[in-house]
Chains A and B, each alone.
Chain A
């Protein structure tokens, strides 16, 4: 047996005074960490297989378990840290690109945490959302900037196709394949219950979920999996995915073992084959090609549905967004680099792209500067972690936000960042029927509805404090924001003043 160059990442701590050897942990661990040793008459653990998903901790009836980072330490170096060394050992063993899941855990600045919100005092009154109307309805789509009148002088009130959201929050793209059918069902039912939208991702739309079409955004990505006319027409809007915040410039790869019968059928590919989304759309090598695809899908859906173009936040995102806004897109979704993913090369996830806060501020500013902000709605994505992040995003200029990681958390995810293994113990990022079963959509959809309902209450409270009683008066209202501990340059890019100014 070769030398194991790196130790287990986690330790399993079991309180044997409390452990009753019920073996629930063993039965619920897809990584086969826990086992019962008949000779010792007690539970033991293969700690090197543990991913810290916390499933065993959460279900243990006596609270006997704890998982914590292994305190074993390599000789300290601020330059060659233990994770870097471990990765080198791992790659030396496999010769492979490192894979990771979910958002980057690295310590990049989180600008949401360096922005403070305003509230009314004395000169104007805060508004109590329990007593007064507090509107959070949002319309996403193109808005006219020139009023038109017919020959009788009557105002033409025809609006472009748009999405109506009761809450300024949507569930962002997660494909069937990367997440389970039960997870998709939960998201679809929650979107319906909340009066908002979920997004198919690039995995097509399972036949059982066409009935949620009115609350579905169908995605067209570079692999074109599951895309056909009925699919395009099944959703309320179509999203063309040009990039993803967690892995800009990179396509996708769903391994063959996740392509089970149902996934294969939904994606319209043979069972067991790898589903590879190319890095570019091979019919879009420039902005004019994007325009053609936008109008192709508009033709296919008789110009009845808004088209979203999702782009990753990269260095020149403002110029790209400006181009997209002039290409017929109705909505631009900007995905920041701290956003999640089902699988991405680690080095890409941790190093490519820019934070959503800066990208959003730059895009909103540029579109206004060019007088075309009404041409598109902006959806901010990529690490909107809580309601105050959403409020800050809207005040920076977003019309609405996409959330995915918080939605996964609502369904039980503990961010072990092991989605790419397909062994999700919470039944979310897996296609193993035994594991998928663990996510009961009847429970999960209610938890999703609860989460977003709670956030919306908080958004209303914050708006009320600012003296704002409708979400559109918050949009782009950057005077409601102040930076804390930010440099002149950061403030300038965000378009906000520093606290105290």
Chain B
């Protein structure tokens, strides 16, 4: 299945992917509105910096997702290879946030449910971090890994 991958040799650490991700999942019509007027959109991708190496990190859609295993409400499921959160079921215990080894589950914008990368399946199917990356460092491609 196609997943989002990051080439750290190309990643510039500009953090723009975070903003494109946050905007895409914000439900706002204008980019800047997602971040102004007291609204703070939450990115589901995060760039790690340090020692001249930058790396954008987001959900790996693990074979055996720990977040799913540990979810007390049964809100996390894996559909067509994509690990998803059902916000209707999520009770906001954030066990998933604690259990993700990559730190890829965040506290959602609403402040009472978790949010994570779902490969923009709800935003037209093209991951906006990939589209927004100014250096072609983030790619959405098939690398033959199991779903």
Contacts and interface: CB of A to CB of B under 8 A. Distances in A.
Interface stretch (A23-31, A141-149, A309-317, A336-344): A23-31
Contacts of B98: none
B103 interface: no
A440 B16 CA distance: 17
Contact of A61 (B52, B132, B135): B132
Interface in B11-65: 12-16, 19-20, 23, 31-32, 34-36, 52
Interface in A2-57: 17-24, 27-28
Contacts of A20: 19, 31-32, 34-36
B103 to A, nearest CB: 20
Given A20-B35, A440-B135, A440-B136, A59 B14 contact: yes
A437 B31 CA distance: 27
A443 interface: yes
Most chain A Cβ neighbours within 10 Å, of B14, B36, B137: B14
Given A20-B19, A434-B52, A442-B136, A61 B31 contact: yes
A382 B75 CA distance: 65
B134 interface: yes
B10 interface: yes
Contacts of A18: 32
B20 A440 contact: no
Contacts of A440: 10, 135-137
B15 A27 contact: yes
A147 to B, nearest CB: 53
A22 B12 contact: no
B14 A24 contact: yes
A177 B15 CA distance: 29
Nearest to A23: B15
B16 A59 contact: yes
Contacts of A434: 52
A273 interface: no
Contacts of A304: none
Contact of A443 (B34, B52, B132, B136): B136
A438 B15 CA distance: 14
A120 interface: no
A105 interface: no
Nearest to A20: B35
B76 to A, nearest CB: 30
Most chain B Cβ neighbours within 10 Å, of A27, A434, A438, A442: A27
A263 B20 CA distance: 37
B31 to A, nearest CB: 5
Nearest to A437: B12
B15 A22 contact: yes
Interface of B: 9-10, 12-16, 19-20, 23, 31-32, 34-36, 52, 132, 134-137
- Per CB-CB distance, the 3 closest pairs between chain A and chain B, nearest first, are A20-B35, A62-B32, A24-B14
Interface of A: 17-24, 27-28, 59, 61-62, 64, 433-434, 437-438, 440, 442-443
30 contacts: A18-B32, A20-B31, A20-B32, A20-B34, A20-B35, A21-B35, A22-B15, A22-B16, A23-B15, A24-B14, A24-B15, A24-B16, A24-B19, A27-B14, A27-B15, A28-B12, A59-B14, A59-B16, A61-B16, A61-B19, A61-B23, A62-B31, A62-B32, A433-B52, A437-B9, A437-B12, A440-B135, A440-B136, A440-B137, A443-B136
Given A27-B12, A64-B32, A440-B135, 15 more contacts: A18-B32, A19-B32, A20-B19, A22-B15, A22-B35, A24-B19, A27-B15, A59-B14, A59-B134, A61-B31, A62-B32, A437-B9, A437-B12, A437-B135, A440-B10
